């Protein structure tokens, strides 16, 4: 099995860690258990220069320090269509540097790409697909974090109600969407129009640490890792084993809410409130759960034929942090995390495979129990909303304890 996270950013993207450089990305990919990583940000001139200098190409894939890389980037499109301002993010995978150079040549005619790793342009998604398919049919365009309110293709604030509404006759070139952290495949299965669309999952990581990199991922079963096999699997689901998802409650936009007022609610409650924040009287930000409900034409629990299965997991650092009552980046959490890595190799192995009795040889029973509960989907997460992450709810000594 090969695990892939195609959507990350470099240090040249806004609000991104200065440690998002190839050595740290590769190091933490190994810690996480990721075999294939997107480079991110190939539109940025300096980062692209580093990629060309440091990546080695072999068998249709690029590599650095024994980690495989796929050339990828995310671009932000802001434009008017259908009488509404649209703000849509797209993940782009490219087969080689020649295709990347042609993409960048086109973008240079539309604006600047040197100020941010995720540049903003004013042309439509239809034009983007048309031009990129003219460059190479091997380029893959994936609407990023599809349900995010502000910048998702189905987002409540500036999105569309269907792929066809966004892409028109170019929809035939869209084979996949990225579900994003605030939704999972089960939620997307409620929309019959997405039955032919492959649901992919990626981290959109802005730092290389294991609670960010690979927090969502795709698992394949290739005989050989190369770009052709990756794209064919995304387009046909062949050799696509499953996706790794966080509990959608963990995502920053699952519930409706208003961050400034520290208020959130379910779609049912939001309807009673007429989508107005009861604290300040301003409109609530409609979350992903509500937006899916608006577009769904099926009841919960429906599973389409040939759907790629998924496994729901919170990052190991989050589980350790809940156990010790500290933040994910603290020394204590790192100590426990490193102890598990030294014994079991990588994080996904711990999260998915190691038996409880083996875990208890390295960590205490309480944490071992939480890891198994995480694996079995038995952790309760207080839903995120309006840019606020969800948090694990832990019952301890009869008290509710909310731990980040």
pLDDT digits (tens, 9 = 90+) for 340-393: 999 999 999 999 999 999 999 999 999 999 999 999 999 999 999 999 999 998
Pick the CATH number of 2-250 from 3.40.50.2000, 3.40.50.300, 3.20.20.140, 3.40.47.10: 3.20.20.140
pLDDT at 402: 33
Going by pLDDT thresholds of 50, 70 and 90, the confidence category of residue 126 is: very high
CA separation, residue 88 to residues 94, 111, 121, 379, 402 (Å): 19, 17, 10, 32, 34
Q: What is the mean pLDDT of residues 317-342?
A: 94
pLDDT over 70 at 398, yes or no: no
pLDDT at 60: 78
User: What are the pLDDT digits (tens) for 22-32?
Assistant: 999 999 999 99
- Residue 383 DSSP code: P
pLDDT over 70 at 316, yes or no: yes
pLDDT at 59: 75
Percent pLDDT > 70 in the chain is 97
pLDDT over 80 at 400, yes or no: no
pLDDT at 401: 39
Percent pLDDT > 90 in the chain is 95
pLDDT over 90 at 55, yes or no: yes
User: What are the pLDDT digits (tens) for 280-297?
Assistant: 999 999 999 999 999 999
pLDDT at 393: 85
**365 burial level (CB within 10 Å; 0-12, 13-18, 19+):** exposed
Least confident span in 106-110, 144-148, 245-249, 389-393: 389-393
pLDDT over 50 at 3, yes or no: yes
pLDDT at 394: 64
| Pairwise CA distance, residues 211 & 207, whole Å | 9
User: What are the pLDDT digits (tens) for 62-76?
Assistant: 999 999 999 999 999
- Bigger pLDDT: 176 vs 60: 176
pLDDT at 396: 38
Mean pLDDT over the full length of the chain: 95
Q: What is the mean pLDDT of residues 242-271?
A: 97
With a CB cutoff of 8 Å and minimum separation 6, the contacts of 82 are: 160, 165
| Pairwise CA distance, residues 48 & 6, whole Å | 16
Continuous segment of H or E residues that includes residue 373: helix 365-375
| Pairwise CA distance, residues 18 & 31, whole Å | 19
The model carries a pTM of: 0.94
The SS3 call for residue 391 is strand
Least confident span in 18-32, 56-70, 111-125: 56-70
pLDDT over 80 at 11, yes or no: yes
Domain boundaries, the chain: 2-250, 315-403
């Amino acid at each position: 099995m090969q695990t892939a996270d195609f959507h990350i950013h470099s240090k040249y993207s806004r609000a991104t860690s200065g440690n998002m450089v190839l050595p740290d990305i590769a190091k933490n990919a190994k810690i996480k258990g990721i075999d294939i990583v997107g480079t991110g940000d190939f539109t940025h001139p300096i980062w692209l220069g580093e990629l060309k200098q440091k990546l080695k190409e072999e068998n249709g894939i690029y590599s650095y320090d024994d980690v495989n890389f796929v050339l990828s980037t995310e671009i932000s499109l802001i434009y008017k269509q259908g009488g509404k301002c649209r703000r849509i993010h797209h993940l782009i995978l490219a087969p080689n540097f020649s295709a990347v150079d042609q993409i960048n040549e086109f973008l240079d005619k539309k604006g600047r790409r040197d100020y941010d790793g995720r540049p903003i342009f004013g042309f439509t998604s239809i034009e983007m697909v048309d031009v990129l398919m003219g460059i190479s049919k091997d380029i893959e365009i994936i609407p990023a974090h599809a349900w995010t309110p502000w910048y998702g293709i189905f987002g409540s604030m500036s999105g569309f109600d269907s792929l066809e509404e966004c892409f028109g006759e170019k929809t035939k070139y869209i084979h996949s969407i990225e579900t994003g952290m605030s939704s999972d495949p089960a939620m997307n299965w409620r929309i019959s129009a997405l039955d032919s669309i492959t649901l992919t999952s990626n981290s959109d990581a802005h730092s290389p640490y294991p609670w960010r990199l690979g927090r969502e991922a795709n698992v394949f079963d290739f005989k050989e890792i190369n770009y052709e096999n990756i794209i064919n699997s995304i387009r046909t689901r062949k050799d696509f084993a499953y996706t790794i998802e966080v509990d959608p409650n963990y995502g920053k936009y699952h519930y409706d809410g208003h961050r400034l007022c520290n208020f959130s609610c379910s779609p049912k409650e939001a309807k009673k409130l007429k989508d107005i924040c009861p604290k300040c009287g301003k409109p609530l930000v409609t979350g992903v759960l509500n937006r899916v409900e608006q577009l769904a034409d099926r009841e919960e629990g429906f599973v389409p034929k040939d759907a790629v299965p998924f496994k729901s997991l919170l990052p190991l650092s989050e589980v350790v942090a809940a156990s010790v009552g500290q933040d994910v980046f603290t020394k204590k959490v790192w100590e426990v995390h490193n102890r598990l890595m030294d014994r079991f190799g990588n994080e996904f192995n711990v999260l998915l495979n190691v038996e409880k009795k083996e875990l208890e040889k390295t960590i205490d029973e309480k944490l071992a129990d939480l890891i198994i509960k995480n694996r079995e989907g038995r952790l309760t997460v207080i839903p995120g909303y309006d840019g606020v992450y969800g948090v694990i709810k832990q019952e301890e000594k009869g008290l509710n304890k909310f731990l980040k």
